[in-house]
A and B are shown apart, each in its own frame.
Chain A
Amino acid sequence: MSQFITGNGWLQLALYMAVLLACVVPLGGYMARVFQGEKTFMSPVLGWLEKLTYTICGVDPDKDDMSWKDYAIATMVFSAIAFIVLYFILVFQNLLPFNPQKLPGLTPDLSFNTAASFVTNTNWQAYGGETTMSYFSQMVGLTVQNFISPAVGLAVLVALIRGLSRKESTGIGNFWVDMVRANIYVLLPLALIVAILLGSQGVVQTFDAYVTAHTLQGIDQTIAVGPAASQVAIKQLGTNGGGFFNVNSAHPLENPTPLANFIEVLSILLIPAALCYTFGVMVKDKRQGWSILAAMTIIFVPLLIFCVAMEQGGNPNFAALHIDQMASHLQPGGNMEGKETRFGITNSALWASATTAASNGSVNSMHDSYTPLGGMVPLLLMKFGEIIYGGVGSGLYGMLVMVILTVFIAGLMVGRTPEYLGKKIQSFEIKMASIAMLVPGILVLIGTAIAVMTKDGQAGIYNPGAHGFSEVLYAVTSAGNNNGSAFAGLSANTPFYNSLLGICMLFSRFWIIIPTLALAGALAAKKTVPESAGTLPTHNVLFIATLVGVIVIVTVLTYVPTLALGPVVEHFNMIKG
């Protein structure tokens, strides 16, 4: 153990948080306008496309207000179609165009897993990128899902926000309208900007076949290329995370420079953070949005700092060897196994934290090779249920579920039937919120138990000792919380893991979406109680602290034994030497 975070490290972390938070108001305000159907500067550009879509689909954006059940059915039907289409694209990619490498169709279990993975915005990567996916599959299959699965998340979030802000209403908006607007006004323009910025930095964008280079040492080297920039941009922005290449954003052609890295890692948290402000605008009380953003940030920043510090501390096992792990102006130092030179420690740990705080799951370094406690940070951030910023849409609606549970406990403590934004939180709401809270925990605990108890599950484990347990735990946690990052040593492309994790992803996504929409419907139907001195304020420091406390305690209590048996044991084993 040598050192803490470097001066430049602090600077980079501060810069990141500053830029991220600076984007919250403009982007959040813009999204609020979009989802409230107001005119924006994009309306003249793409308004015709929106109208055309409604005409073709027979949707009247002003009249077709859906009940929560209709909204849920639309969500499910749309996702089911997306799932089926993607599944068949993958299975039959050998028959489809844009396949210069003549890659074969995917196996049914891998196709199932990948379809589940992308439709649920998890983007767990059981496939190998450049060795598995044709350009057609990447574009028409994966890129399309990278747009529409976060758009579904945004739609569900907007429905929940409407539930909180409407009074005695049966409708919570129109799914098609919300989803289409999310795609064409929010995701598409942002993706185009980011794709071009990344392309200028060296991210490839071509339909040519892979290149063969004759190297200096005289051997042939295959260099995989493809239409990566367009896919990487939306993979980051849509908290998707499924990489174009196998090693995701650690790949130099997917993430070539520190500047590209900054844009990509900023894109991870950009929309989820800004949505807090959107929420504040839409419920007509910006303080509510700020307090949620504050709670997220309060949980995120210490864990981020802890992760950077742990990685910068290096691997004590190397102490006996003749290795220099100290950071200096000539080298990043620290635990560099699985990390890229251009990113060093700070940007790797920053990415690891951001990608798991959001349900992104892309990586720019190999989490499996992190120090035990450094690797526990992404694990823990996923275990929070992907609500610390979280996925696009899904992060905030998951967070609002936790807010509702917090309001319930705190509300009882002030002697009133708990209420949030004037909506009374009663048994139905608690029932739905409890289901949404329980689902990831149930999936992770049972899924991990199944994996460690079966031969097939154990067979995938790569690293020895307690770290093998962490690998399985990480995989199931990732799938059960729709993150998608991995301790990639685990051989997960097997029928067993493809099925287990695919099921986890589907359950986790839709068994949270349905209760969330039910919650939205129930809340929309309620009256709004006016605020008074007897109302529990949900925008002050005390509430933020309570919310943070509830999230941390609930998560820690659920996962202490697993964390103890994995990373904690590893850590003590490591420092014991």
Chain B
Amino acid sequence: MKSLLSTLRPAIGTTVLLTVLLGGVYPMVTTGILQLGFKAQAQGSLIRDSDGKVIGSRLIGQNFDQPQYLWGRLSATGTAPYNGGASSGSNLGANNPALMDAVKGRIEALQKADPLNARPIPVDLVTASGSGLDPEISPAAADYQVGRIAQARGIGAAVVKSAIAKSTRQRDLGVLGEPRVNVLEVNLRLDGKLK
């Protein structure tokens, strides 16, 4: 058997070399390529207003509970909903009474904001997302809210629907994932901050 010492040289040598290569060179090269090729994405797909101030990220949901805005998923992030600095799911089990409470609470809020809407509520609108930062809801969940938004804004349902349609993405490559509506984009459109 070899001595421990003769094992230490390659052990330390490879550790140092690989740390430099994989912990330094590799992330730097990746950063360089992405900052050059896909700068917007690499910086977090940020949306800025006309002054250049950050309004948010196209990929990070925001909390909407005012009736004139399209609402997103429930969020269970740390300290406040849609806290982009502390992502988290609800982690409530399917049989947990707390889950039922949260769902019922959301149903109540939805119904209170739109008492006349008797359609069944799409499930993604009453459940919390995994990240707590889900930027999107299903087209069905967006459609469910059209009446309320139109009423709150005093505009026609068609305008709301068109804003939604413009922010709707079909499945990637026609197969992958699910059709979805970017909530922040819709609300930016409704506020006239995005064409």
Contact = CB atoms under 8 A, between A and B. Distances in A.
Do A and B contact each other directly (Cβ–Cβ < 8 Å)? Answer: yes
A398 interface: no
A133 to B, nearest CB: 13
Of residues B60, B69, B94, which shows the largest number of chain A Cβ atoms within 10 Å of its Cβ?
Answer: B94
A330 B69 CA distance: 20
Interface in A290-333: 314-315, 317-318, 321-325, 328-333
Contact of B2 (A73, A131, A314): A73
A192 B59 contact: no
Given A215-B56, A323-B126, A573-B95, A341 B131 contact: no
B154 interface: no
B116 interface: no
A230 B26 contact: yes
B91 A74 contact: no
Contacts of B138: 330-332, 341
Contacts of A488: 88-89, 91
Interface in A441-485: 462-465, 467, 470
Nearest to A53: B17
B30 A371 contact: no
A568 interface: no
A253 B60 contact: yes
Interface residues of A, number: 135
Interface stretch (A256-264, A419-427, A517-525): A256-264
Interface in A29-64: 49, 52-53, 56-59
B57 to A, nearest CB: 5
A343 B178 contact: yes
A570 to B, nearest CB: 6
Contact of B130 (A53, A58, A259, A340): A340
Given A216-B64, A252-B59, A340-B129, A199 B175 contact: no
B60 to A, nearest CB: 5
Given A8-B171, A215-B55, A366 B104 contact: no
Contacts of B89: 247, 250, 338, 365-366, 368-369, 488
A70 interface: yes
Contact of B136 (A58, A147, A200, A341): A341
Contacts of B173: 259
Interface in B17-63: 17-19, 21-24, 26-27, 29-31, 33-35, 37-38, 41-46, 53-63
A537 interface: no
A224 B85 contact: yes
A278 interface: no
B177 A372 contact: no
A78 interface: yes
A363 B128 CA distance: 16
A428 interface: no
Interface stretch (A201-209, A388-396, A400-408): A201-209
Nearest to A463: B93
A211 interface: yes
Given A85-B15, A211-B46, A229-B34, 14 more contacts: A49-B21, A73-B4, A77-B8, A184-B21, A206-B42, A207-B31, A217-B65, A219-B63, A245-B131, A261-B176, A321-B103, A323-B107, A464-B97, A467-B94
Interface of B: 1-2, 4, 7-15, 17-19, 21-24, 26-27, 29-31, 33-35, 37-38, 41-46, 53-66, 69, 73, 78, 82-97, 99-100, 103-104, 107, 119-124, 126-141, 143, 171-173, 175-180, 184, 187-188, 191
16 contacts: A56-B17, A85-B15, A192-B29, A211-B46, A216-B187, A221-B84, A252-B59, A253-B57, A317-B95, A323-B107, A324-B119, A340-B130, A340-B131, A368-B92, A369-B93, A489-B93
